[in-house]
Protein backbone atom coordinates (compact mmCIF):
# COMPACT_ATOMS: atom_id res chain seq x y z
CA UNK A 1 0.00 0.00 0.00
CA UNK A 2 1.32 3.44 -0.89
CA UNK A 3 2.24 6.05 1.70
CA UNK A 4 -0.53 8.33 0.43
CA UNK A 5 -3.14 5.58 0.74
CA UNK A 6 -1.97 4.75 4.28
CA UNK A 7 -2.29 8.39 5.32
CA UNK A 8 -5.61 8.83 3.51
CA UNK A 9 -7.13 5.96 5.49
CA UNK A 10 -5.14 6.51 8.67
CA UNK A 11 -5.80 8.58 11.76
CA UNK A 12 -2.34 9.91 12.50
CA UNK A 13 -2.37 13.71 12.30
CA UNK A 14 1.44 13.92 12.24
CA UNK A 15 1.58 11.60 9.19
CA UNK A 16 -1.06 13.73 7.46
CA UNK A 17 0.83 16.97 8.13
CA UNK A 18 4.11 15.40 6.92
CA UNK A 19 2.53 14.14 3.69
CA UNK A 20 0.97 17.52 2.96
CA UNK A 21 4.25 19.27 3.75
CA UNK A 22 6.14 16.95 1.39
CA UNK A 23 3.56 17.58 -1.34
CA UNK A 24 3.77 21.37 -0.92
CA UNK A 25 7.56 21.22 -1.28
CA UNK A 26 7.03 19.84 -4.81
CA UNK A 27 6.13 23.27 -6.23
CA UNK A 28 2.84 24.39 -7.78
CA UNK A 29 1.78 20.86 -8.78
CA UNK A 30 2.52 19.63 -5.27
CA UNK A 31 0.52 22.45 -3.69
CA UNK A 32 -2.43 21.50 -5.89
CA UNK A 33 -2.00 17.85 -4.86
CA UNK A 34 -1.93 18.81 -1.17
CA UNK A 35 -5.22 20.70 -1.41
CA UNK A 36 -6.88 17.99 -3.52
CA UNK A 37 -5.81 15.47 -0.85
CA UNK A 38 -7.02 17.71 1.97
CA UNK A 39 -10.44 18.27 0.37
CA UNK A 40 -10.96 14.61 -0.54
CA UNK A 41 -9.94 13.33 2.88
CA UNK A 42 -12.11 15.89 4.71
CA UNK A 43 -15.07 15.00 2.49
CA UNK A 44 -14.58 11.30 3.13
CA UNK A 45 -14.31 11.85 6.89
CA UNK A 46 -17.36 14.13 6.98
CA UNK A 47 -19.49 11.45 5.38
CA UNK A 48 -18.21 8.82 7.85
CA UNK A 49 -18.52 10.74 11.12
CA UNK A 50 -22.20 11.54 11.28
CA UNK A 51 -22.37 11.19 15.06
CA UNK A 52 -20.17 12.83 17.66
CA UNK A 53 -18.69 16.22 18.03
CA UNK A 54 -17.19 18.85 20.29
CA UNK A 55 -19.01 20.79 22.98
CA UNK A 56 -17.77 24.37 23.06
CA UNK A 57 -16.89 26.12 26.33
CA UNK A 58 -19.19 29.03 25.48
CA UNK A 59 -22.03 26.69 24.71
CA UNK A 60 -23.03 25.16 21.45
CA UNK A 61 -21.87 22.07 19.69
CA UNK A 62 -19.82 21.41 16.54
CA UNK A 63 -20.33 18.02 14.97
CA UNK A 64 -17.29 16.24 13.58
CA UNK A 65 -19.07 16.11 10.25
CA UNK A 66 -19.56 19.90 10.22
CA UNK A 67 -15.92 20.45 11.14
CA UNK A 68 -14.76 18.20 8.29
CA UNK A 69 -17.08 19.90 5.80
CA UNK A 70 -15.57 23.22 6.93
CA UNK A 71 -12.05 21.85 6.28
CA UNK A 72 -13.20 20.65 2.85
CA UNK A 73 -14.60 24.08 1.98
CA UNK A 74 -11.37 25.79 3.07
CA UNK A 75 -9.35 23.35 0.96
CA UNK A 76 -11.57 23.92 -2.10
CA UNK A 77 -11.20 27.68 -1.76
CA UNK A 78 -7.41 27.37 -1.56
CA UNK A 79 -7.39 24.83 -4.43
CA UNK A 80 -9.37 27.14 -6.73
CA UNK A 81 -7.00 30.01 -5.89
CA UNK A 82 -3.95 27.86 -6.70
CA UNK A 83 -5.49 26.66 -9.96
CA UNK A 84 -6.31 30.26 -10.94
CA UNK A 85 -2.63 31.21 -10.59
CA UNK A 86 -1.15 28.10 -12.25
CA UNK A 87 -3.24 25.06 -13.15
CA UNK A 88 -0.08 23.17 -14.17
CA UNK A 89 -1.79 22.08 -17.38
CA UNK A 90 -4.82 20.61 -15.58
CA UNK A 91 -8.30 21.22 -16.97
CA UNK A 92 -10.64 22.40 -14.23
CA UNK A 93 -13.69 24.52 -13.53
CA UNK A 94 -17.09 24.86 -11.90
CA UNK A 95 -20.54 23.53 -12.71
CA UNK A 96 -23.83 24.09 -10.93
CA UNK A 97 -25.83 21.08 -9.80
CA UNK A 98 -29.42 22.33 -9.71
CA UNK A 99 -30.57 19.18 -7.88
CA UNK A 100 -28.14 19.58 -4.97
CA UNK A 101 -29.67 22.08 -2.57
CA UNK A 102 -27.14 21.96 0.29
CA UNK A 103 -24.03 22.10 -1.91
CA UNK A 104 -25.06 23.21 -5.41
CA UNK A 105 -21.63 23.90 -6.89
CA UNK A 106 -19.24 21.33 -8.32
CA UNK A 107 -15.50 21.84 -8.62
CA UNK A 108 -14.08 19.48 -11.25
CA UNK A 109 -10.38 18.85 -11.78
CA UNK A 110 -9.08 16.53 -14.47
CA UNK A 111 -6.01 14.93 -12.92
CA UNK A 112 -3.66 12.83 -15.07
CA UNK A 113 -5.04 9.72 -13.34
CA UNK A 114 -8.75 10.59 -13.35
CA UNK A 115 -11.32 13.28 -12.73
CA UNK A 116 -12.18 14.49 -9.24
CA UNK A 117 -15.48 16.17 -8.44
CA UNK A 118 -16.29 18.00 -5.22
CA UNK A 119 -19.68 19.39 -4.14
CA UNK A 120 -19.36 22.77 -2.44
CA UNK A 121 -21.70 25.27 -0.79
CA UNK A 122 -19.91 28.22 -2.42
CA UNK A 123 -18.46 28.87 -5.82
CA UNK A 124 -14.97 30.26 -5.52
CA UNK A 125 -12.53 31.63 -8.11
CA UNK A 126 -12.29 30.00 -11.48
CA UNK A 127 -13.85 29.38 -14.85
CA UNK A 128 -16.87 27.37 -15.81
CA UNK A 129 -15.98 23.74 -16.52
CA UNK A 130 -15.66 23.57 -20.29
CA UNK A 131 -15.71 19.87 -21.20
CA UNK A 132 -18.05 16.98 -20.54
CA UNK A 133 -18.16 15.67 -16.99
CA UNK A 134 -17.11 12.02 -16.78
CA UNK A 135 -19.53 9.56 -15.29
CA UNK A 136 -18.80 7.56 -12.17
CA UNK A 137 -16.54 8.45 -9.31
CA UNK A 138 -13.10 7.11 -8.58
CA UNK A 139 -12.08 10.16 -6.55
CA UNK A 140 -10.10 8.29 -3.90
CA UNK A 141 -8.02 6.39 -6.48
CA UNK A 142 -7.42 9.51 -8.57
CA UNK A 143 -6.34 11.57 -5.54
CA UNK A 144 -4.03 8.88 -4.21
CA UNK A 145 -2.55 8.23 -7.66
CA UNK A 146 -1.96 11.93 -8.30
CA UNK A 147 -0.31 12.49 -4.92
CA UNK A 148 1.86 9.39 -5.36
CA UNK A 149 2.98 10.63 -8.78
CA UNK A 150 3.88 14.06 -7.39
CA UNK A 151 5.85 12.51 -4.52
CA UNK A 152 7.58 10.14 -6.97
CA UNK A 153 8.51 13.01 -9.28
CA UNK A 154 10.40 14.74 -6.47
CA UNK A 155 11.82 11.57 -4.95
CA UNK A 156 9.86 11.75 -1.69
CA UNK A 157 8.67 8.28 -0.88
CA UNK A 158 7.30 6.52 2.07
Domain count, the chain: 1
Mean pLDDT, the chain cut into blocks of 10 residues (158 residues total): 91 94 96 95 66 54 58 93 97 91 90 92 93 73 95 68
Tell whether 89 is covered by a domain.
yes
Percent of the chain beyond pLDDT 70? 79
Tell whether 23 is covered by a domain.
yes
- Which structural domain range is residue 109 located in? 3-153
User: What 3 state SS string does the chain have?
Assistant: CCHHHHHHHCCCHHHHHHHHHHHHCCHHHHHHHHHHHHHHHHHHHHHHCCCCEEECCCCCEEEHHHHHHHHHHHHHHHHHHHHHHCCCCCEEEEEECCCCCCCCEEEEEEECCEEEEEEECCCCCCCECCCCCCCCCCHHHHHHHHHHHHHHHCCCCC
Q: Please report the pLDDT score of residue 57 as a whole number.
A: 57
Tell whether 27 is covered by a domain.
yes
pLDDT in tens, 125-141: 999 998 877 765 678 99
Tell whether 158 is covered by a domain.
no
Tell whether 35 is covered by a domain.
yes
Tell whether 59 is covered by a domain.
yes
Amino acid sequence: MSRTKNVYHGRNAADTRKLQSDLRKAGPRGKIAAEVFRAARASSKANRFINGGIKRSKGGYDSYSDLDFQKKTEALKKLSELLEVDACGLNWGWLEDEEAIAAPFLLLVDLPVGQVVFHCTDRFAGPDYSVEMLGGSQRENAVIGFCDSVLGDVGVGG
